[in-house]
Structure 1
Amino acid sequence: MVKRALKIVLFIGFAALFVSCGNKKNLTEEEKALFKEYKSVKLEKDPNTKKVYDFEGMEIIVADWWSPSDGLDNAEPVNPVDEDTKKFHKFLKVAYNVDIDTYGIGGWGAHPQTVANFCTTGGDENYVFIIDNRSLTTGMKGNLFYDLSSITSIDWSNPKWDKATTDLTTKDGRFYGMRPMASEPRVGVFFNKRLLKEAGIDPETIYDLQKESKWTWETFEEMLKKTTRDLDNDGAFDTYGMANLSTEFCYLAAMSNGTSYIGKDSNGKYFNNIGNDKTLEALSWAARMKQAYEKPQPEGANWDWMYAAFINGEVAFQVDQQYRVGNIADMQDDWGFVCFPLGPNGDGKYATLAQDNIYVIPACYDKERAEKIAKAFDLYTTEVPGYDDDSSWKEDYYSRFRDERAVDETLQLMRDNPKPRFDTMIIGINQVGEVIWNVYGGGQTPQEAYEATKNHYQGLIDEMNN
């Protein structure tokens, strides 16, 4: 009798769990197993109904240009983390009665037009578009994206929402873009350990300096000077301190000195910041480093010659994107990776510039539809149980880097302090190239470059602000 009563209680409790999930269909054995596995997950309730959110089978397409056309959750897992994520997504879809997945629609080249067309004309599909700067600038100017700050059912203070993305897409006190994950570690400084050792420098000291906040413009220049060497006394350098893409170096030089080329004020208005003393100082320093320690571009070489120079062990340092680890995976010399050194007028914190894809919802949707899509996306991006450890993101990076310190220390610093790049929001400013290319190449002083471009740039900025 006791056993039978216990069975009845368990049955009723389990059935109540299924009903409370807002799921209106009969559960399969696989789905029952998922509910059992994730029984500790607290499902969110709709404050209007006081019941678990039920999206009544709503179909939502998270659209990018690279995912499988039949859905990312349907693809074979690439690692244990991906496998656990896909399984948890399956549970969330059943629990909240929503059909949501990430699909590749079209290709990279066509994506901006696809986004613009739908946001303008609308349609039956329920989209969350993943975009890059090609769509962001025109979309913000054309009011194509929904005001996410008006959606109160989402806790935007949740740490999963990337602050750099919010800052970048804020206009007149409202924000239009979201990113439910930390900013990806981006630009830093690669270094060749062999060349450093041959110049009498222990490569580990760079990590030590970074850890002690003593990796600065000054200590960087000391190492550049030591690694720019004439080995055979013939009057010509045989190894050089560095070789860089000019824009990557100059963006980081400004950032590290507490400034930027284009700024944004508290009212969300952009302004030309090139004439700022900190920016001029950063440009002057960058040009001096290039003149004194950078390997000259070989005659007839392509624009990307600097990448081969680093791989071939001809230069000791290179400022570059973190993702280029794939290109140097088979490099014969050992290498490491640190943040860009601190400038004399920065805030004393290591950082990187955020250059992430952004998630937006079309402004053509009415309030009810947009809020449903946004809330479903918020719930779908709930953190996977078991991966709430702050260090779990590192697992995918360890195999790509040769030093654990590059992951544990450098990438961690970058994730903790991403800075937005506002020049990417100004249509036609072309990476501030007119300034950077001329100054880094030695054709103009920073002040001359600023004076030569300020009127043109101001017109572009005014157009974006208005």
Structure 2
Amino acid sequence: MRKIKGLSVLLLCFAFLLTACSGGNNAANNTKANATAEPAATEAVAEATAEPTAAPVDMGGRVIKVAAWWDLKPAGNSASEKERLAKITEVEQKYNCKFEFVNVPFEEFMPKFTATALTGEPFADIVIMEYNSAWPAILKGQLMKVSEYTTAASNINNEANLLVKAPKIANEDYAFAEPGVGGAGIHYNRDLFKKLGLPDLQELYASGQWNWDKFVEVAKQATKDTDNDGKIDTYGFSGWAIDMLRNFSAANGGKLVDEATSTQGLTDPKVIEAAEFINRLYNVENVVKVKGADKVGYDEFNTFKDGDVAMFPAPIWNLGDLTFDFGVVPFPNGPSGSPEVTYADNGKNAFFIPKGVKDPQAVYQAFEDTYDITQTGDFPSQEWLESIYAHEEDVAMMHDHINNTGQILLETAYPEYPTYGYMKDIIVDNQSVTATAEKYKPEAEASIAKLGK
């Protein structure tokens, strides 16, 4: 096990953005080939392989507003941040424009967007938006497709090393993002694994043994009364039950709701299989630590931080304050799943350009150019991952096996979608999963229909 030394911690806001960009385009990892042609052939090779470039546009001193619920302006704390600040100044002079980074509190962000979008004059030219918020806005015609503001000359449509197309929504490209690597997986307490003599999960994964059955086996081995006082001291698993349903369903090939077809997924056999598996963890094997009074409560999201839980689902941004050593593997695939999809990405956010923005091609072109700086590391967001994970194996696991395996899930975009009731009936009231799915099917369909109005 190789520990990473000399870690460089980036700003937390950058962590949020890169986590959100976990489905980044692989093209962003490409590097330009070295010029090795013979002198006589160099000009011909360059002409044959040159990519189109966009000509600068005089924007007449226009202010381009870029908004998020944190400060997107580089702080200048690192060499790359300083270089991007200099590039922004260069682009402002080149395009005769000015960038203004607007920081709007999260709870005010969507109301402000909605109010201004309805007037046809959005409060910002480029906005960071969660996919669950973007989907209703798309249905109302308030956001533009990437094809409406990029051209054949745009880097995003060529090398895509400056900005990349973010994952599709309803099979269409609406958003873009910084190149990045990330995602969600099963994290595990390496200290506790060593103490209890449990098999390393990365070794199980590498040997092809990491599946639901092995997950249960390890969880049972970790759930112990270590001091023989009649009380369980260590547990196999913990987490937010709704988050478990989303992720285990995705890892089994199921989806709670499909925005592309406007269909509910609670009755999908693959989702039902995942719900039955989760119920087994809670009520049959009894390997889940529940700290609060509500088994389905969001507070269980942080129960793993007590240090007595072996395995837990956690986004990367929630790992910064842990006091124990930890590792990561993908969510194990279920009987109906595949390695291409291992988790549900229900917290995705990215850049969007609203309808009503004037000269969107010029706005996008200028913004894209601000990212034309020296690329550091072997791949995008390497430095950030190394600031979170202490072992090279974990960074490699995230880069090679978890990145690009997220399923975009827009379940919370639908008003009163009955996921909570569905899980409560199953793991709290011990109701039949199949009967529960049929019970909540009409509510799920009504929720989908309500969003479409």
Question: Normalising TM by the smaller chain, what interval?
Answer: 0.7 to 0.9
How many angstroms apart in 1 are the aligned matches of 2:299 and 2:149? 48
Q: Of the candidates 203, 206, 211, which is equivalent to residue 208 of structure 1? A: 203
Q: Which residue of structure 1 lines up, in the alignment, with residue 423 of structure 2?
A: 436
Q: Which residue of structure 1 lines up, in the alignment, with residue 436 of structure 2?
A: 449
- 1:136 matched to 2:128: no
Q: Which residue of structure 1 lines up, in the alignment, with residue 409 of structure 2?
A: 421
Equivalenced residue count is 398
TM-score of the superposed pair, with normalisation by structure 2 = 0.78
Identity of aligned residues (%): 18
Q: Is the contact made by 1:287 and 1:441 (CA closer than 8 Å) also made in structure 2? A: no
Unaligned ranges ≥5, structure 2: 1-49
Q: Which residue of structure 2 lines up, in the alignment, with residue 55 of structure 1?
A: 59
Q: Which residue of structure 2 lines up, in the alignment, with residue 385 of structure 1?
A: 374
Q: What is the deviation of 1:448?
A: 1.9
Aligned-CA RMSD value: 3.1
2:69 maps to a residue whose letter is W
- Larger relative contact order (CA 8 Å, sep ≥ 6): 2
1:337 maps to a residue whose letter is V
How many angstroms apart in 2 are the aligned matches of 1:101 and 1:408? 36
Q: Of the candidates 218, 234, 237, which is equivalent to residue 239 of structure 1? A: 234
How many angstroms apart in 2 are the aligned matches of 1:302 and 1:216? 24
How many angstroms apart in 1 are the aligned matches of 2:53 and 2:197? 62
Q: What is the deviation of 1:96?
A: 3.5
2:61 maps to a residue whose letter is G
How many angstroms apart in 1 are the aligned matches of 2:432 and 2:262? 24
Alignment of 1:326-341 (within 5 A): 326-328=320-322, 331=323, 333-341=324-332
Q: What is the deviation of 1:126?
A: 5.7
How many angstroms apart in 2 are the aligned matches of 1:357 and 1:322? 15
Q: Which residue of structure 1 lines up, in the alignment, with residue 91 of structure 2?
A: 92
**In structure 2, do the counterparts of structure 1 residues 178 and 392 end up closer, same or farther at CA, with 3 Å as the change threshold?**
closer
How many angstroms apart in 1 are the aligned matches of 2:325 and 2:124? 48
**In structure 2, do the counterparts of structure 1 residues 126 and 348 end up closer, same or farther at CA, with 3 Å as the change threshold?**
closer
Q: Which residue of structure 2 lines up, in the alignment, with residue 360 of structure 1?
A: 352
Cα deviation 1:416-456 (Å, max 9, x = unaligned):
323201313323316x2222233233532221221111111
Q: Which residue of structure 1 lines up, in the alignment, with residue 190 of structure 2?
A: 193
Alignment of 1:127-166 (within 5 A): 127-133=125-131, 135-151=133-149, 153=151, 155=154, 157-158=157-158, 159=160, 165-166=166-167
Q: What is the deviation of 1:78?
A: 2.4
Q: What is the deviation of 1:98?
A: 3.1
**In structure 2, do the counterparts of structure 1 residues 400 and 348 end up closer, same or farther at CA, with 3 Å as the change threshold?**
closer
How many angstroms apart in 1 are the aligned matches of 2:51 and 2:341? 38
Q: Which residue of structure 2 lines up, in the alignment, with residue 226 of structure 1?
A: 221
- 1:181 matched to 2:186: no
Larger gyration radius, structure 1 or structure 2:
1
Q: Of the candidates 293, 310, 333, which is equivalent to residue 342 of structure 1? A: 333
Q: Which residue of structure 1 lines up, in the alignment, with residue 168 of structure 2?
A: 167
Q: Which residue of structure 2 lines up, in the alignment, with residue 371 of structure 1?
A: 361
TM-score of the superposed pair, with normalisation by structure 1 = 0.76
**In structure 2, do the counterparts of structure 1 residues 78 and 301 end up closer, same or farther at CA, with 3 Å as the change threshold?**
farther
Alignment of 1:19-98 (within 5 A): 45-46=53-54, 51-67=55-71, 72-73=73-74, 76-98=75-97
Unaligned ranges ≥5, structure 1: 1-41
- 1:289 matched to 2:276: no
Q: Is the contact made by 2:253 and 2:341 (CA closer than 8 Å) also made in structure 1? A: no
Q: Which residue of structure 2 lines up, in the alignment, with residue 276 of structure 1?
A: 268
| Mean CA deviation greater in 112-121 or 354-363 | 354-363
Extract structure 1 runs of 4+ deviating beyond 6 A. none
Q: What is the deviation of 1:460?
A: 1.7
**In structure 2, do the counterparts of structure 1 residues 141 and 231 end up closer, same or farther at CA, with 3 Å as the change threshold?**
same
Q: Is the contact made by 1:189 and 1:320 (CA closer than 8 Å) also made in structure 2? A: yes
| Mean CA deviation greater in 185-194 or 214-223 | 185-194
2:425 maps to a residue whose letter is N
Q: Is the contact made by 2:240 and 2:299 (CA closer than 8 Å) also made in structure 1? A: no
How many angstroms apart in 2 are the aligned matches of 1:349 and 1:64? 31
How many angstroms apart in 1 are the aligned matches of 2:431 and 2:296? 23
2:62 maps to a residue whose letter is M
